[in-house]
């Protein structure tokens, strides 16, 4: 089964690494590099899961997550960050994040988690 995944990270290299791994698993992937574009994507297209970085330009990942919840309340969101302190992780859990990964993360673990999240 193919899943439609949105990756949101301002680091192009990280986006490409995650995207390549998900595509190898048969997923369709869209990449955006900022929160505003991510919100537009979720408004205009149906996704099975989102990989969302915390540190973004314009809006941080928690703000983006809040907006995503308004548009698609049950959309599975996996957050990633090199800056994930306990406050940020607790806030993400409050907003219904599926799982939070600290950077650097194990790519295979992230991919299998994103697929599990997409499955529902």
Where the chain has pLDDT below 50, the residues are: none
Residue ranges of domains in the chain: 4-114
d(CA 30, CA 15) in angstroms, rounded, equals: 9
What architecture is domain 4-114?
A: 3-Layer(aba) Sandwich (3.40)
Using alpha carbons, select from 36, 8, 25, 9 the residue that is nearest to residue 113: 25
Q: Report helix angle 61-71 to 35-44, nearest 10.
A: 10
Global pTM exceeds 0.95: yes
Per-residue pLDDT tens for 33-60?
999 999 999 999 999 999 999 999 889 9
């Amino acid at each position: 089964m193919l899943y439609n995944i949105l990756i949101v990270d301002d680091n192009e290299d990280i986006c490409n690494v995650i995207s390549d791994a998900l595509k190898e698993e048969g997923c369709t992937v869209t990449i955006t590099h900022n929160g505003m574009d991510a919100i537009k994507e979720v408004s205009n297209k149906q996704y099975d899961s989102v990989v969302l970085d915390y540190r973004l330009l314009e809006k941080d990942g928690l703000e983006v997550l809040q907006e995503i919840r308004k548009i698609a309340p049950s959309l599975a969101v996996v957050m990633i960050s090199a800056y994930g302190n306990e406050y940020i992780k607790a806030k993400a859990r409050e907003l219904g994040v599926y799982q939070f990964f600290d950077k650097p993360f194990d790519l295979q673990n992230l991919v299998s988690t994103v697929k599990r999240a997409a499955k529902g």
